[in-house]
Structure 1
Amino acid sequence: MSAIALDLQGVTSGYRTSVVLRALSMSVAGGEAVALLGKNGMGKTTLLKTIMGYLPKRAGTIRVNGVDVTRLPPHRIARAGVAYAPQEHAVFQDLSIRDNLRLGLADASAFDERFADVGPLFPVFESRLKQHAGTLSGGEQKMLLVARALMMRPSILLFDEITEGLQPSVIDRLAEALLWERERRGTTVLLIEQHVPFALKVADRYAILKQGEIIDHGHTNDAGAAEAIFSHLRV
């Protein structure tokens, strides 16, 4: 791991008159994976949308690889090397799998090269590139979101509960893909999760978010890490 890739200092944001994140500060080192956990409604999705520029920052700063992106719009943040896979299914239903994957590329001519890397991680797509994305199952659409993010070869990946509603075999496939991405490219990952075993498998550190503030954190290989996380989720 290297210098700080994602740095949030005193970030406050929310929706209209509602403040959700309260002077939140956290950082993720280059090549590190951090899992952010917490009960529903605590601000986890708000955090990712704030990082991506979909929600305005009321206070604080956000830096990506040392560059201040606090006031940049989402497309500029994506160009800075940040890929985002949201919780809701954000595939384009009427487009083919291939066209959905191409949306992650600034240069469409790079498709074959990029898919040669990403395709083997998701073999379900390799013979179905012409199929409409809207005909895929929920789990397959989640995998398509992840594959599209990986096609970008970003420096930072943001994932919002990508395991929600998925079968164990699909969750295992996603874990393998993320571990491969980190080992092969040194990609930085910040993921929102409710599936604790998945988070412990793919992340180096965890943080617990409650009412817009980080109340606990630790390393996933610490003794008692799983119990500490579950204790917060049960309360």
Structure 2
Amino acid sequence: MLSLSNLNSFYGRSQALHDVSMSAPSGTILAVLGRNGVGKTTLLRSILGLTDRQSGDVVLDGQNISADATYRRARAGIAYVPQGRMIIPDFTIRENILMGGFAAQGPRAIPEIVPKIFPYLMENLDRPGGVLSGGQQQQLAIARALASGPKVLLMDEPTEGIQPNIVEQIEDIIIRLNAELGLTILLVEQNVKFARRAAQNFTMLENGRVVADGAIADLTEETVTKHMAI
């Protein structure tokens, strides 16, 4: 579904990713792990073409999209739930969700699954996004991404900064999106326990390079300690 080959990515003259290669088969969750500042967010931004310069290949469904502008990558089927959620606080819940529909192939609409997994959002469509709690804003960011009808969902630490009683709910929703919609998900995560529960495969980054990868069952405590312990 999504594969990267020798991907290098730059901010100005600074190289952030070095020959990164990985793949996420269709309908799977790939956990992207590593300490803070090792290039995980840059990886997701690079897949969408949001860094200053890139080389290497980004292939989606057999099509090389490396030369495509960000909006074309979005329309090809890649959606992004960024770290910090980045909803528009003065827009209503409805407007925030429908904004994601600009990348959809058909008319903009609230996805059918949203009322099932986010009933609170549907009951409060005319409330401003800025009055929502952190967990509710994360739900809104996910609903906005789903409005584009994606094939691949990029999620950057989706449980960070969320009240503890909501974290497990968000985790369960991510697993459900994968299971029920067949979404391929790249999950940047610090919570190794959740990564082991949700993902089929993992990639470990260190200083912008892949230092370990494989089936999630092969993610050892030694690897976690070596590359994630502070």
CA distance in 1, matches of 2:126, 2:162: 24
Q: Which residue among 9, 30, 35 is the counterpart of 1:34?
A: 30
Q: Which residue of structure 2 lines up, in the alignment, with residue 12 of structure 1?
A: 8
Aligned residues: 227
Distance 1:24 1:133, change over 3 A: same
Q: Is the 8 A contact 2:109 2:147 kept in 1?
A: no
Greater mean deviation of Cα atoms: 180-189 or 30-39: 180-189
Q: Which residue of structure 2 lines up, in the alignment, with residue 58 of structure 1?
A: 54
How big is each residue's C-alpha offset from its partner over 1:179-216, in whole Å with a ceiling of 9 and x where there is no partner? 22112221111111112222222111111100111101
1:103 counterpart SS class: helix
Identity of aligned residues (%): 36
| Structure 1 unaligned blocks of 5 or more | none
Q: Is the 8 A contact 1:34 1:191 kept in 2?
A: yes
Q: Which residue among 131, 137, 141 is the counterpart of 2:137?
A: 141
| Structure 2 unaligned blocks of 5 or more | none
CA distance in 2, matches of 1:160, 1:63: 20
Q: Is the 8 A contact 2:22 2:203 kept in 1?
A: no
Q: Is the 8 A contact 1:82 1:156 kept in 2?
A: yes
Q: Which residue of structure 2 lines up, in the alignment, with residue 225 of structure 1?
A: 220
Instruction: Note the aligned Cα RMSD (angstroms).
Output: 1.7
Shift, 1:167, TM fit: 2.4
CA distance in 2, matches of 1:230, 1:93: 39
One-letter code aligned to 1:120: K
Q: Which residue of structure 1 lines up, in the alignment, with residue 207 of structure 2?
A: 211
How big is each residue's C-alpha offset from its partner over 1:103-153, in whole Å with a ceiling of 9 and x where there is no partner? 122355533xx2x42222122212111100011112211121112112333
Q: Which residue among 71, 83, 91 is the counterpart of 2:79?
A: 83
Shift, 1:88, TM fit: 2.6
Shift, 1:227, TM fit: 5.4
Q: Is the 8 A contact 1:175 1:201 kept in 2?
A: no
Greater mean deviation of Cα atoms: 86-95 or 73-82: 86-95
Q: Which residue of structure 1 lines up, in the alignment, with residue 188 of structure 2?
A: 192
Distance 1:231 1:83, change over 3 A: same
Q: Which residue among 176, 180, 184 is the counterpart of 2:176?
A: 180
1:77 counterpart SS class: helix
Shift, 1:57, TM fit: 4.0
Q: Is the 8 A contact 1:196 1:226 kept in 2?
A: no
Instruction: Give yes or no for the alignment of 1:234 onto 2:229.
Output: yes
